């Protein structure tokens, strides 16, 4: 297995695991209404977006021009 | 039950239980906690403005350039390695997840789990920094800080973000020591809440940088 393929696999599996866990954490925070809970919800939501981006990069949907 | 002690043997499994425990704390703490929380959120907002100014500089330079990556000595700079950056991103996002679990463990009075998640967060943060160092070692072969607008914006933004991660690793290490010295209790743990918010913020800034420099 080439290094790039291995890195893509790690990124793919990692993005799914981390993103899925972040979604669970986000859902647990949803009923809470305090300021820190609301900020946490916002930041967790954006982190989930980041996991989606990493997932799309790992499957060559985004960043396909980026071969250095 | 004392509101100022943390007994790892006790367990509270819901936010309602934590709220009930929080009701026991003194009024001064309850009042100042809200003010400190507001102050910390405002600090994060100011940090967001700080990064935004650099991000908009990058957007201006990128959209104004005839080609991107820009030309240096007549040759176009290459794009950065997206695959390694994706792995490094997942490492940083993973540290956000472990930090969240650390705070939740503390709220549920599970001190052993808290220590484990905190150590995992710190280790992942250090791994991200090492990944960034590796990224820099490759990037410095193709572009310098002063040689192009790409290099200037890339090293400035990712460098400032890396500095935030570095400070965050120190911050979390201090929190871990403080927590084990009894500075925080099951009802008074504002420092841990602030640390979690800061670490999530650092994650979110990287989402923007990852998209701008590697995926766009």
Q: What is the DSSP letter of B9?
A: T
Of residues B24 and A7, more confidently modeled: A7
Query: What mean pLDDT do residues B140-145 have?
Result: 90
**Does B9 have pLDDT greater than 70?**
no
Of residues B2 and B114, more confidently modeled: B114
What pLDDT, on the 0 to 100 scale, is given for residue B17? 62
What would the DSSP string read from start to end of B119-147?
HHHHHHHHHHHHHHHHHHHHHTTT--TTT
- Spatial distance between the Cα atoms of A51 and A46, rounded to a whole number of angstroms: 9
| pLDDT, mean over chain B | 89
Q: With beta carbons less than 8 A apart as the criterion, state whether B91 and A47 touch.
A: no
- Closest to A7 (Cα-Cα) out of B25, B84, B10, B97: B84
The pair of three-digit structure tokens given for residue B41, joined into one six-digit string: 């959120």
Mapped onto helix, strand or coil, the DSSP state of residue A28 is helix
Of residues B61 and B22, more confidently modeled: B61
Q: What is the DSSP letter of B67?
A: S
Mapped onto helix, strand or coil, the DSSP state of residue B75 is strand
* Per-domain residue ranges of chain A: 3-58
Helix, strand, coil percent values for chain B (each to nearest 5): 75, 0, 25
The pTM of this model reads: 0.87
Q: Give the confidence band of B2 by pLDDT, cuts at 50, 70, 90.
A: very low
* Per-domain residue ranges of chain B: 15-215
Tell me the ipTM for this assembly: 0.91
Are A54 and B193 a contacting pair at CB < 8 A? no
The pair of three-digit structure tokens given for residue A9, joined into one six-digit string: 């696999």
Among the partner-chain residues B15, B83, B207, the one whose CB lies closest to the CB of A49 is B207
- Spatial distance between the Cα atoms of B106 and B111, rounded to a whole number of angstroms: 6
Min Cα distance B74 → chain A (Å) is 18
- Spatial distance between the Cα atoms of B107 and B114, rounded to a whole number of angstroms: 9
Query: What mean pLDDT do residues B159-186 have?
Result: 95
Q: Does B79 contact A at CB distance below 8 Å?
A: yes
Kindly list the residues of chain A whose beta carbon comes within 8 Å of any beta carbon in chain B. Answer: 4, 7-8, 10-11, 14-15, 17-19, 21-22, 25, 32, 35-36, 39-40, 43-44, 46-47, 49-51, 53-54, 56-58, 62-63, 65-68
Q: pLDDT (tens digit, 0 to 9) for every residue of chain A, 68 residues total?
A: 788 899 999 999 999 999 999 999 999 999 998 888 999 999 999 999 999 999 999 999 998 874 44
- Closest to B207 (Cα-Cα) out of B167, B137, B157: B157
Half-sphere exposure of B29 (CA within 13 A, CB side): 14
The pair of three-digit structure tokens given for residue B80, joined into one six-digit string: 């950065």
Burial profile B145-169: b = 16 or more Cβ within 10 angstroms, e = fewer? eeebbbbbbbbebbebbbebbeebb
Q: Give the confidence band of B73 by pLDDT, cuts at 50, 70, 90.
A: confident
- C-alpha angle with apex B90: B43 to A27, nearest 5 degrees? 70
Q: How many CB atoms are closer than 10 A to CB A63?
A: 25
What pLDDT, on the 0 to 100 scale, is given for residue B76? 86
Q: Report chain A's C-alpha Rg in angstroms.
A: 15
Residues in chain B within 8 Å Cβ distance of A53: 89, 207, 210-211, 215
> Which helix H or strand E contains B71, and what residues bound it?
strand B71-72
Looking at domain B15-215, its CATH class is mainly alpha
- Closest to B190 (Cα-Cα) out of B32, B6, B21: B32
Q: Give the confidence band of B29 by pLDDT, cuts at 50, 70, 90.
A: confident
- Closest to B93 (Cα-Cα) out of A19, A12, A6: A19
The pair of three-digit structure tokens given for residue B172, joined into one six-digit string: 């979390």
């Amino acid at each position: 297995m080439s290094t790039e393929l291995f890195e893509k696999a790690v990124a793919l599996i990692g993005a799914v695991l981390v993103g899925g866990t972040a979604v669970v954490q986000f859902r647990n925070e949803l009923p809470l209404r305090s300021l820190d809970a609301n900020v946490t919800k916002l930041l967790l939501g954006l982190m989930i977006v980041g996991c989606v981006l990493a997932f799309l990069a790992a499957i060559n949907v985004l960043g396909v021009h980026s071969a250095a | 039950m004392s509101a100022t002690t943390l007994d790892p043997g006790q367990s509270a499994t819901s936010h309602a239980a934590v709220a009930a425990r929080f009701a026991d704390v003194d009024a001064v703490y309850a009042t100042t906690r809200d003010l400190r929380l507001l102050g910390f959120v405002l600090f994060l907002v100011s940090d967001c403005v700080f990064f935004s100014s650099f991000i908009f500089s990058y957007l201006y330079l990128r959209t104004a350039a005839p080609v991107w990556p820009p030309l240096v000595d007549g040759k176009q700079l290459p794009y950065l390695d997206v695959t390694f950056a994706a792995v490094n991103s997942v490492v940083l996002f993973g540290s956000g997840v472990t930090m969240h679990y650390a705070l939740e463990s503390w709220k549920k009075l599970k001190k052993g789990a808290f220590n484990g998640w905190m150590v995992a967060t710190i280790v992942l943060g250090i791994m991200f920094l090492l990944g960034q160092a590796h990224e820099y070692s490759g990037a410095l072969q193709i572009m310098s800080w002063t040689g192009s607008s790409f290099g200037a914006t890339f090293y400035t933004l990712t460098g400032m973000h890396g500095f935030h991660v570095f400070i965050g690793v120190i911050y979390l290490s201090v929190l871990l020591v403080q927590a084990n010295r009894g500075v925080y209790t099951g009802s008074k743990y504002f420092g841990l809440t602030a640390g979690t918010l800061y670490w999530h913020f650092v994650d979110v800034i990287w989402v923007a940088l990852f998209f701008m420099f590697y995926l766009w």
